[in-house]
């Protein structure tokens, strides 16, 4: 396995976007993406440390998103009306500034969605975070929310325009990812929303929606899984 391949897995497992990860082993420096773990003498059972790039305030932003602290996020440059500045960003022109803010808002949304912090996700979406944005490996916030069965976050992301059909770099959609990981509740929530859109209703208790949902329920997996 290469370091890059490990990072791609951690993008999903830890919910930290690939490009913000800094991997270290023992007292070595940063592990090189294109090198193998064997090249870096990583032994079975060895501990690799995951750190966040500290430049431009990314560490503080990720930690606030991990905590789901909306008040901290509001002070860390996730909206265009923010007064937050770093040594680097204070030199940006208007276009660069907007792009930087958009990146920060997306990264915070990605992490908060993975951790299931629905209040923080709500805050970020209300302030313009792009739920259709993608991590460097092509994953959307819905991919990681579905993978972790963060049901409230799934509902919010879908409400703001996230798609269950977006494919990541490996060709997986949020729905196929939920299937592979046996996240039956994630699949149900996404299917329910799909049928509500198809039938033009916002009421999940609509008899027509319930009837249509029952028809596809058998496709969710085994009876044992459906009871979980």
pLDDT of residue 210: 55
Judged against a pLDDT cut of 50, whether residue 109 lies above it is answered with yes
Domain boundaries, the chain: 1-53
Burial 198-215 (b: 16+ CB within 10 A, else e): eeeeeeeebeebeebbee
pLDDT of residue 217: 54
How large is the average pLDDT for residues 71-98? Answer: 91
Q: Angle 94-115/118-126 helices, nearest 10 degrees?
A: 160
Assign domain 1-53 one CATH number from 3.20.20.450, 3.30.960.10, 1.10.260.40, 3.10.20.90: 3.10.20.90
pLDDT of residue 199: 53
Contact 196/213 with Cβ under 8 angstroms? no
pLDDT of residue 166: 93
- Write down the pTM of the prediction: 0.85
Tens digit of each residue's pLDDT (9 = 90 or more) over 175-220: 999 999 999 999 888 988 876 666 565 545 555 555 555 555 555 4
How large is the average pLDDT for residues 140-155? Answer: 96
Rounded to whole angstroms, the Cα distance separating 167 from 137 reads 10
pLDDT of residue 118: 96
Element (H, E) at 21: strand 21-25
Rounded to whole angstroms, the Cα distance separating 27 from 7 reads 19
pLDDT of residue 182: 94
Burial 178-194 (b: 16+ CB within 10 A, else e): bbeeebbbbbbbbbbbb
Judged against a pLDDT cut of 60, whether residue 153 lies above it is answered with yes
pLDDT of residue 30: 87
Four-CA torsion 194, 198, 200, 203, nearest 10 degrees? -30
Contact 11/17 with Cβ under 8 angstroms? yes
């Amino acid at each position: 396995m290469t370091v890059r391949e490990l990072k791609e897995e951690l993008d999903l497992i830890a919910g930290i976007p690939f490009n913000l990860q800094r991997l270290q082993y023992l007292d070595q420096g940063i592990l090189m993406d294109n090198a193998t773990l064997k090249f870096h003498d990583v032994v079975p059972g060895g501990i690799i440390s995951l750190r966040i790039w500290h430049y431009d305030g990314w560490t503080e932003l990720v930690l606030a998103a991990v905590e789901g602290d909306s008040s901290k996020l509001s002070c860390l440059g996730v909206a265009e009306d923010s007064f937050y500045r770093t040594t680097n960003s204070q030199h940006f022109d208007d276009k660069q500034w907007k792009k930087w803010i958009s990146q920060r808002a997306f990264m915070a949304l990605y992490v908060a969605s993975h951790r299931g912090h629905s209040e923080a996700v709500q805050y970020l979406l209300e302030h313009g975070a792009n739920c259709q944005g993608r991590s460097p490996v092509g994953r959307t916030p819905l991919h990681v929310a579905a993978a972790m069965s963060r049901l409230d976050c799934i509902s919010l992301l879908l409400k703001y325009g996230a798609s269950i059909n977006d494919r990541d770099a490996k060709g997986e959609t949020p729905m196929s990812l939920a299937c592979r990981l046996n996240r039956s509740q994630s699949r149900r929530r996404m299917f329910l929303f799909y049928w509500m859109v198809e039938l033009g209703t916002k009421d999940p208790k609509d008899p027509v929606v319930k009837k249509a949902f029952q028809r596809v329920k058998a496709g969710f997996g085994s009876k044992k899984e459906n009871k979980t």
